[in-house]
Structure 1
Amino acid sequence: MSRKTHEHQLAQRKAQRQAERQAERAKQRRMLAITITSIAAVVAVIAGVFVVVAKNTGNDTPAASDTPSAPSGAENKPQSIPTAIAAPPKRPKPLAAEVDCSYTKSGQPASKKADAPANGKVKASGTKPVTLNTSVGDLHLTLDSALAPCTVKSFLSLVGQKYFDNTKCHRLTVGTGLQVLQCGDPSASGSGGPGYSFKDEVYPELKYGRGILAMANSGPNTNGSQFFIVYGDASGLTPAYTAFGTVDKAGLELIDKVANAGVIPEGGPTDGKPATPVEIKTATAAS
């Protein structure tokens, strides 16, 4: 082996190790959002694009004048959006009348001050309306405790603490197999949370479709405050994300307009900030 070839191989190995370390650090910083099993996702991973992560901006906060504009063309916009609203999820086997909920302090500090709900028994029945008053209009949610009582309890607690008020929906995906709007991180970095976590409330038969409200996570049992609204195709999702309610038809049509305006790509051409900003001004639960 020539000296030149040996040096070249050493340089390649060094670059590979650096890339692996950077990827691991990035993984630890960010809130993983969606695992995609579609062919498009595989192609994106091969190309080096981390489709499953929310963002890769670290702690950088660009000034408004530095924020890039959405590119021209259709790559950053949905090719189509299904209009049929999915049937609300329903567990094949109902939960017990009451379940135990536990909320554990997480390793990361809260992005915005919040108290965890009290641990203990929660009723696994009933629905609760919540309205997200946003910069693009009102999104009416219906939370379902028969689906995910611990998740509903946490979400309502955060609503009551005004945790979601004046926060931005930081992620929009428009590609085939994954069309969601993701919100719930006051830092808008994709890695923020309430300072606590709780277990998944999923089941193998769980399906996602237009109108489903679900929790984002960074792996099993890492739910916090980030959630996503499925406005279109979700055929690439596995049943690993707690569904806890639905979004009304009028709200979905508002999100359609946001999606059709495109994304400012960050995790690939179909994944990034919505080009039309979506800010949650207030979140309120019906009394």
Structure 2
Amino acid sequence: MAPSKDRQRKMARAKYDRQMARRAARERRRRRIQAGVGAGVAVVLIAVGVAWLGGVFDSKPDDPTAADVCAWTPQSAESNPDLKDVGTPPTSGLPTSGTEAMTVTTNQGDPIVVDLDLTSAPCSAASLRYLASKNFYDNTECYEITTEGALHCGDPSGTGQGGPTYSFYDENVPPAPAPSASATPDAAPLYPTGTVALTGVPPGTNGSQFLIFLKDYDPKDPQYPIVGTVSSGMDTVTKIGKIPTVDNGSGAEVKPKEKVVVQSLTVGAAPAPSASTAS
């Protein structure tokens, strides 16, 4: 009987050893799976953290042109009767890149076409576009050639105090030059001939008034926000620049001796040049 019992004990021991080996194998496999899952989760968490720091999860508008980019500050027509109420431009859906043509037709020659800078001055361009759609500028007089050498337009009242019943902040004002740069003879002027800029009363409260520079202007303290540049019609600009000025009634000789009238101002595709250049 003893050999039989020894054999049984050996068989039981072998069975136990096999069970322990299988259990150990399962435990090693379970640990490997857990380690792999943990490593994967760690990699995902690291990737999410990097993406978060990079701003991937920041909220963004579906269409960047639809963002609210402009604010229009109401102005009271009761306190200033020279203001004209035509509502306010939209605040969203405004183009913020590229250029757009503004065509100023005057009684002085071919239309003056201006490339409005939608990238650097989107709100300024939006205001001009809106006012043009309301025929705000039609049959108004450019009543002044400023001492800086710019044709001053855009005030239907002709007083320098007029405009719409809203204002907006400055955009795209050139930075003041460093003293060393201003002394450099080859430095480009801040407002070259043909530059179109806005002007407000007081400065920084822009409305409808704009300047077309008839000659280079290079101030030490620039204050006019640039909205565009003349792309065609420079012959008309040159002609206007030669008009002599007379006293405007206040002792300042800034009134053009010959009337300069904006017959129409449009923003959009530039029309074909007219064969008629009434003066």
Q: Which TM-score bucket, shorter chain as reference?
A: 0.5 to 0.7
CA distance in 1, matches of 2:84, 2:126: 18
Summarize the Cα distance change of 1:208–1:155 in structure 2 as closer, same or farther, 3 Å threshold.
same
CA distance in 2, matches of 1:244, 1:144: 6
Summarize the Cα distance change of 1:123–1:171 in structure 2 as closer, same or farther, 3 Å threshold.
same
**1:264 is the counterpart of 2:246:** yes
Summarize the Cα distance change of 1:231–1:259 in structure 2 as closer, same or farther, 3 Å threshold.
closer
Larger relative contact order (C-alpha < 8 A, sep ≥ 6)? Answer: 1
- What is the TM-score normalised by the length of structure 2? 0.61
Aligned residue for 1:122, secondary structure, equals coil
Summarize the Cα distance change of 1:204–1:127 in structure 2 as closer, same or farther, 3 Å threshold.
closer
Contact 1:159 1:284 in 2 (8 A): yes
CA distance in 2, matches of 1:158, 1:200: 17
**1:284 is the counterpart of 2:257:** no
Contact 2:82 2:157 in 1 (8 A): no
Picking from 164, 183, 191, the partner of 2:137 is 164
- One-letter amino acid matched to 2:72: Y
Contact 1:99 1:123 in 2 (8 A): no
CA distance in 2, matches of 1:204, 1:227: 16
Partner of 1:134: 106
Aligned residue for 1:236, secondary structure, equals coil
Picking from 234, 238, 241, the partner of 1:252 is 234
Which structure features the higher share of helix residues? Answer: 2
CA distance in 2, matches of 1:237, 1:274: 26
CA distance in 2, matches of 1:135, 1:237: 34
Partner of 1:226: 209
Partner of 2:20: none
Structure 2 unmatched ranges of 5 or more: 1-63, 177-189, 270-279
Larger Rg computed on CA atoms: 2
Q: CA deviation at 1:264?
A: 1.4
Q: Where do residues 1-287 of structure 1 align in structure 2 (5 Å cutoff)? A: 100-107=69-76, 108-109=80-81, 111-120=83-92, 122-137=94-109, 138-173=111-146, 175=147, 178-205=148-175, 207-236=190-219, 238-249=221-232, 251-266=233-248, 271-287=253-269
Q: CA deviation at 1:203?
A: 4.4
Partner of 2:52: none
Percent of aligned pairs sharing the same letter:
34
For residues 105-160 of structure 1, the C-alpha deviation after alignment (integer angstroms, 9 at most, x for no partner) is: 11335643412112346342021112111111211111111120010001000011
Contact 1:231 1:252 in 2 (8 A): no
Structure 1 unmatched ranges of 5 or more: 1-95
CA distance in 2, matches of 1:181, 1:274: 9
CA distance in 2, matches of 1:123, 1:238: 30
CA distance in 2, matches of 1:99, 1:123: 11
Q: CA deviation at 1:204?
A: 4.7
